Amino acid sequence: MKLIRCYIENFGKHKELEYTFQDGLNIILEENGWGKTTFATFIKAMFYGLEATTKRSLSENERKHYLPWQGGSFGGSLVFEMKGKQYRIERFFGEKRKDDTYRLFDETTGLESKDFGPCPGEEIFGMDANTFEHTTFVPQNGMAVKSSDRMVARLNNMTGQEENVEGYELAVSLLDGHMKEYVKTGNRGKISDLQNELTMVNDKLYKLQNREQSYEELQEALKHVDEQKTEVTSAMRILRQLTKETSEYDGLKAKKDHYDSLVKSQMEAKSKLDMERLFFEEPELASQINAKKRDAERLSKLEEQYRDEEENIREQEYKKDGLTEQFLAMKKPPVSTMILLVLGILLAALGIFLWMEGEFGLYVPLAAIFVGIILGIIGMVASATRNTKLKKAYDSRMMELDALIQGAKQMQRNIVLEKEQVHKSIENYLVHFQITDKSSFYASLLEIEKKISEVSTLKEHSDEAKKKVLEFEETNRQEMDRIRFLTKPEHSLEELSSEEQNLNQGMVELMSKRNELTREIAAIQNMEEDETDLLQMQEHIQEKIAEAKQQYDLLLLTKEFLKKANEQYKSNYMGTMQENFRKNVEILNGAMMEDVSIDADFGIRVRGGGKSYSVEALSAGYQDMLALCTRFALVEAMFTGEKPFMMLDDPLVNLDAEKIDRAMGFLETMALRHQLIYFTCHESRAQNRGKS
């Protein structure tokens, strides 16, 4: 059986689309969104029509889902070949199934044919539309085979007896329903109800037979319950007090924080006052400070006098330097002396010259020489006399200046001694006040004066802080002990509330138990039932329990027999399925895989380490490859004669490049026996394969 061609007038997004199929592998390569699923649904609709449903969801109502977007006639035609004969199905759809039209033609003669009815898919494939979708149609991400009763019937060559096969599930469902009447979860059901009824009868019978003993036991139990009530009542009283204290904790905590803050402020003020009093509250402190201020002023004046004497010394030294320069300048011979010396030398030289010439005789030269010598002596004597006077005057003035300098230095020494005495006196005094800064004694003394004046202010602050503490204690007199010794509660209000609820619940249960005991005591006291009647009732209930258990066991045994029969029924086709599956795995894998198999429900199992695992233990790629082998094994087993076409909506999306190449090779092998229509949007599936 194979498809020849199809024409879509309008179906979903497709309009006036014609496609011709070829034998073997047909690859329809189109982009995502082209409508591959719509195309596949059209082919199915040609064979099976569109289901009549009132569901509003488009995903569940194919008629609404594929209603043409662009309007126009809703449907088309499909030409197929069956047993060497070609047929053409023309099918158009309306908004409702009663508006659908269906016609079948003999493609060779062009005449209408009655070879197949309005649902040729069921006659041709021997299965309904749902089974068709789970066998010959392989959707993307949906290759796994799901077993159904019709599929099992088809595999067992029981086409037309699906209703008998479906009876298994109905029978199991009915059996489960009847069994639940007898036994339900949560200790419920007919058997449990009868056992509870028997327990009540046995209890009454026991109490009747042991009336005195039961009465004493109940009285003892009642006493114990009353004791428990007393304990719970006491616990609740304590809990309420704890709850009250806990609820008041936040308010008391705020008061305690405020009180602690007031006490801290008082202690700090008192500590500061006591510290200042220690140094700044002596009776004679003010007069002492004034005296030391005068000493500080005296120290400043001494420093000024010292600087004056230092300036005086520098001035006298300057005068000495000036006098020395003046003396050295005046020691040089005056001009008159120099003239006399020069004239004397010239006359002496002239006399010597004349004497040597001999022209003026002896007396003239000698006179010139004598006069020259006399003039030189006079100049030298005058110069020496002058220098002696200058030196005497210089020495006298220098002695006066040195005396002045020594006097100034002596004054400085006296000032230094007095400064040291005053400085030491002030310094020793300030040490008493823990003042070690010696940079400004006067400023330190002023600071002490300031602190003396601040003592009264500190006393006012201390008194004010103490007053606030006393006022707080008076205002909160009744709560002061709790405020002083406040501790954080061990439990929160939520925890106490939860505990109170537990106690209340416990009290309710105790009250309920007490009422029950009271009723039982009253029942024993007023017991009038006959022991014979209770024994007969006991026997009757026991018989009903035995009968119910027998019925339940019979239903359970029947279910087990049905289950075994169903498993045996399924085993009829498992040999063929297993053989086809192994062949397909060998073709796809290139070698036989001994560690994989399929069960009667088409589940794939993997063996390893002595255990059997679900196929989910493998990668998604291997799962898809093995599911593909299962799907083809199923089709081979279901169609022993003429093979149907198969549609695949790119089920290889989870495979890597190497597995895709092997899978496509497998499909090419399968295409030798089946016409395959493969929808894809990947070029890798279409390269050198089939028709695109």
What pLDDT sits at residue 473? 85
Percent over 70 (pLDDT), the chain: 81
Segment 466-494 shows an average pLDDT of 84
The whole-number average pLDDT for the span 523-533 is 67
pLDDT in tens, 72-102: 889 999 999 998 999 999 999 988 888 899 9
Return the pLDDT at 114: 93
Secondary structure, 3-state, 407-444: HHHHHHHHHHHHHHHHHHHHHHHHHCCCCCCCCCHHHH
Whether pLDDT at 37 is above 80:
yes
Is pLDDT larger for residue 512 or for residue 616?
Answer: 512
Least confident residue range of 82-91, 180-189, 398-407, 450-459 = 450-459
pLDDT attached to residue 158: 45
Q: Which pLDDT belongs to residue 686? A: 66
**Which of 302-341 are b and which e, b meaning 16 or more Cβ less than 10 Å from the residue's Cβ?**
beebbeebeebbeebeebbeebeeebeeeeebeeebeebb
Least confident of 273-282, 290-299, 323-332, 624-633: 273-282
Mean pLDDT of 443-464: 73
**14 burial type by CB count under 10 A (0-12 exposed, 13-18 middle, 19+ buried):** buried
Q: Please tell me the predicted confidence (pLDDT) of residue 79.
A: 96
| pLDDT the model gives residue 487 | 82
pLDDT band at 160 (very low <50, low <70, confident <90, very high): very low
Q: Looking at residues 18-38, what average pLDDT do you find? A: 90
> Which among 638, 644, 575, 635 is positioned nearest to 154, based on CA atoms?
638
Looking at residue 159, its pLDDT comes to: 44
Tell me the average pLDDT across 143-167.
55
Would you state the pLDDT for residue 100? Answer: 92
pTM of the predicted structure, to 2 decimals: 0.45
Position 439 scores a pLDDT of 62
Q: In what order do the strands lie in the sheet with 676-680?
A: 25-29, 676-680, 646-649, 137-138
pLDDT at position 649: 83
Give pLDDT, residue 119: 92
Q: What is the DSSP string of 433-499?
A: TT----S-HHHHHHHHHHHHHHHHHHHHHHHHHHHHHHHHHHHTGGGHHHHHT----SS-HHHHHHH
Average pLDDT over residues 428-445: 66
